[in-house]
Chain A
Amino acid sequence: MIRFIDVQKEYDNGTKALKGVSVRIDDGEFVFLVGPSGSGKSTLIKLITAEIAPTEGRVMVNGFNLNNITPRQVPQMRRTLGVIFQDFRLIEKKSVYDNLAFAMRAIGASNRELRRRIPYVLQLVGLDQKGDRFPGQLSGGEQQRVAIARALVNNPSMIIADEPTGNLDPQRSLEIMMLLERINELGTTVLVVTHEKNLVNRFNKRVVTIENGRLISDETGGYYNVEKV
């Protein structure tokens, strides 16, 4: 569950990226966060992952109050999230399997847990035959599937994807979105940032639109329509 109450974020250089955003995402939801480039989408994501702190307002993530979270609690909070980026961020010199193992070891998983969990997740994203490949030997779409598998491997309650299809062609993009939809159907909350209008409109999901640091529409079953404002 995510709750933003009147959140403002001003960067050190004076840029006001968010100018009072209130939004609530419940467990089990699938939400598109849309808006033009520079509108503050990534800033919102970084507030959720506690990479940056809000200037004003309150941020709650999966039961953690990020306004007064202790440094020791931050890793615990992050374990409830699986994060996906536009540029995949895989370790090039590690195989697909080892990329996932790396993420599990980072939170202290045993080898037995690795052997049980990784094949299941690879099969979920359709890469069960490619565990021993290296990222360089995979297509962009496949690499993003690895990144999704890595986000899922520690069994988070929420997946957060910042422009996951930004580097992919329309067909691969659609496949990635459908995979995320499937993951949501299996019970994981999903928040997807994108500015690809056509893609968003192919799904019948809740769409939160921000522009210039402000939330300008929030419609369940809505669509991406910046022009209407």
Chain B
Amino acid sequence: MSRKFNTGYYVSEGVHSIFTHGFMSFAAVCMIVACLIIMGSFTLLAANLDNTLGDLESENEMLVYIDDALTQDQARMLQPTLAQVDNVSQLTFVTKENALADYKAKHNDNIAVLEDLPNEALRDRYRVHVYDIERMADTQAALEQVPGVAWVRAAIEIADGFVMVRNIATGVAMVLIGILLIISLFIIANTIKLATFYRREEIAIMKMCGATDGFIEWPFVVEGILLGLTGALIAFFAQWGLYQMVAKFAIQGNGLSLVNMISYSSMATTILAVFCGVGVFIGVVGSLFAIRKFLQV
């Protein structure tokens, strides 16, 4: 007897099985679609917040004010030392003359304002950009340790706020993904359990004839994989539509363009791959669980 792996047989049995209990299969696919979309939405939200955070990192600068006791040449000499501080990505020296000119320009040479000019406006300073906005407070402290630095001004609150929102979104996404994965697995396992129940007589006959466990199990695993993949494909396109809708809404309602949305098409391959991966994973694990628990081959 031939011993080749009979893919055609397993697939046709798997497909046939799906349609013999169509309603349950339909319900399982719907659940997978729902789970993937919820997972996807939160992951996309987290990804967009992370992206915005990246923008913030490049826009958000700290000002490192140099001690008055130092001459301008001495202040310039600090550049290599400051550049070595951890997390510093970019460093620009600004003389107090330039700073004052900028300030005047901004305030239309208003004498009254000039009179109230804060002291630090007359100091030499560096504009500093960081790699990682989450570590901004540490970087600020480290910069202040450098001899010759008077003090460092940083908009830590804005950075902290964004980091917190991003972390919450990521946390919620993780928890939801965990819960929904378990629900999806449960649904698939139940669908496959039902499938094994429908076919219990055939399974008994196959066992009696000397069919191997693998031969009996494979069609059910294939069925699980097909359900998972179908759900993944539907979810991919539904997610696309949903994302476009939200993107349109966000652009209209967000004049400040604080949130800069990533385009779906730039992520499409990744999303499709992840959805299919999750779908196959749910299908395989769910069906194997059902087989081990209910088939008892």
Contacts and interface: CB of A to CB of B under 8 A. Distances in A.
Contacts of A113: 1-2
A108 B6 contact: yes
Contact of A91 (B1, B201, B210): B201
Contact of B1 (A71, A89, A103, A108): A108
Interface in B196-248: 201-202, 204-213, 215
Contact of A103 (B2, B3, B9, B205): B205
A89 B204 contact: yes
B209 A71 contact: no
Q: Chain B CB within 10 Å — which of A79, A89, A103, A106 has the most?
A: A106
Nearest to A50: B207
A75 B204 CA distance: 12
A63 to B, nearest CB: 14
A154 B201 contact: no
Chain B interface mostly: helix
A176 interface: no
Nearest to A75: B210
Q: Chain A CB within 10 Å — which of B1, B2, B209 has the most?
A: B209
Contacts, number: 55
Interface in A138-164: 150, 154
A178 interface: no
A179 B108 CA distance: 114
B210 A79 contact: yes
Contacts of A78: 207-210
B201 A89 contact: yes
Given A79-B210, A107-B211, A154-B210, A91 B2 contact: no
Contacts of B208: 49, 78, 83
A102 B205 contact: yes
Interface in A107-143: 107-110, 113
A49 to B, nearest CB: 7
B213 A103 contact: no
Contact of A109 (B1, B206, B207, B212): B1
A158 B193 CA distance: 34
Contacts of A107: 1, 209-211
A105 B213 contact: no
Interface of A: 49, 71-72, 75-79, 81, 83, 89, 91, 102-103, 105-110, 113, 150, 154
29 contacts: A75-B207, A75-B210, A75-B212, A75-B213, A78-B207, A78-B209, A79-B210, A81-B210, A89-B201, A89-B205, A91-B202, A91-B205, A103-B205, A105-B9, A106-B205, A106-B209, A106-B210, A106-B211, A107-B210, A108-B1, A108-B2, A108-B3, A108-B4, A108-B6, A109-B2, A110-B1, A113-B1, A150-B209, A154-B210
What are the 8 A-B residue pairs with the smallest beta carbon separation, nearest first? A79-B210, A78-B210, A106-B211, A106-B206, A106-B209, A75-B210, A103-B209, A75-B212
